[in-house]
Amino acid sequence: QTFEYLTYATGGIAAVVLLFTLVLASRIRVAIATLKVAAQAIAAMPNVLLYPLIPFVLYVGLVVYWVVVSGYLFSAGKLVETRDDVPPPGRNGTSVVGNTTYVYDMTAEPVRLTHYYYEFDNRTTFNATTCAEDPSCYYGYTWDKDLQYMAMYNLFGLLWTTQFLAGVTYVTLAGALSSFYWSSGEAANMPRRPLIESMYRCVRYHLGSIALGSFIVACVQFFRIVLEYIDRKTKDMQEGNFILRYCMSCVKCLMAYLECILKFINRNAYIIVAVEGVGYCSAAGTAVKLIITNAVTLAAVNFAGDGLIAVGRLIVVAACACCALSMADQDVYTEPVKYPETYLKSPLVPVLLSCLAAYVIASQFLAVYEMAVDTVLLSFCQDCDRNNGSPSCAPPLLLLAIGKARKGKTGGTSKVSDSDGGDGSPPRRRTARTK
């Protein structure tokens, strides 16, 4: 009976999937064409696959710098003595707890513990005069408000710079990859050095927009860290108050969703910034409008693209795992007598490390393809919005997906200028001579 219910459930799911496939057939065709055009764009400029190495090196340098600065700030605190369970002084400058007597210097400002001793069998067995001799005393750092503010500033700088580097990466890749779409999918009509020109436009015109978008996300991330700190400090209070614990969980959940939404909007806004050359606020408004008006198409493309990227990661990780297993099976790693220095008792750790490295590297390179998909799709939506549903610069695959063909005069072809006006806007069209 269980299998019968499972059969009915899977049959219902299959029917729903089939129904959605039939209803969204046109959207699925656009999604497939978008994935193909994104692959063509990367093939037309393969050097974009190496670009992730630049932000990766910058990320590593940023983390190293942040760790060094944090270490200096930590060591700049004041080293103080701290003792566990020390009672307050009595009127005569001493305090007795059990068989232990604590002696204080009442003339000092503030009053401080000079030493303590305990007696056993009418004799003194321990007399601590310094923190080094006291097993219950330890040294710790305390930081004044200036150092605490500097640590908060350093943390916020890490968050902001991380998001800023991500924004520079998005704008640079989007500017280079969008040139393929606005050249109607013809590599000959693209700029000669699309990646370098996009990097120049990003540094010359768009750093302010990137700084604003990254600042907004960094503020939300910093607020989430503050919420986590407050949550840990109020654990005892929350244990006896269900409403307080529930409100804290709701606020943390809402802030996490807000961060995800802002990152999604920023990603698409950076594409509009790279394509049109407008400011961040205008680009964010345009991106939200395009997302809302093309929600179904975006959902179809994201579903297909995420599935394809996940399969790509899985294939790369599986291939690296197989290679690592085959290498670990060689005699140099399996013969303890002949090769004692390189003998492996178990290949598990090397294989897991290989899989982890493969996943990280594959994610870096597949992120370029994911950005290409988003750029082509948003450019297509913007092209359709400008021309009342009839794109004028779409590559042939996208035109076939929507059932349209590019119109042109007999014996002539439409060609796209490789000049974008210097501001990242879509290129102007012109008529080329017949070859």
Q: Can you tell me the distance from the alpha carbon of 385 to that of 404, in angstroms, rounded to the nearest whole number? A: 16
Written as one string, the DSSP assignment of 106-117 is TTSSS-EEEEEE
Nearest 10 degrees: Cα torsion 336, 337, 341, 345:
10
pLDDT for 429: 38
pLDDT for 225: 94
- The structure's pTM equals 0.77
| Residues 289, 298, 258: CA angle, nearest 5 degrees | 65
Averages of pLDDT over each 10 residues, the chain, 435 residues:
84 85 76 88 90 91 95 84 70 73 73 67 58 67 86 95 95 93 84 91 94 96 93 85 89 94 94 92 92 85 84 92 88 82 84 91 89 91 84 84 59 39 42 32
How is residue 127 written in tokens?
């007399």
Give the number of other CB atoms < 10 A from CB of residue 264. Answer: 12
Strand spans (E) along 129-286: 137-142
- 3-class SS at 89? coil
Longest dimension (CA), the chain: 116
Q: Can you tell me the distance from the alpha carbon of 214 to that of 208, in angstroms, rounded to the nearest whole number? A: 10
pLDDT for 272: 94
- Asked whether the CA dihedral 348, 350, 355, 356 is positive or negative, the reply is positive
How is residue 177 written in tokens?
């990859």
pLDDT for 124: 54
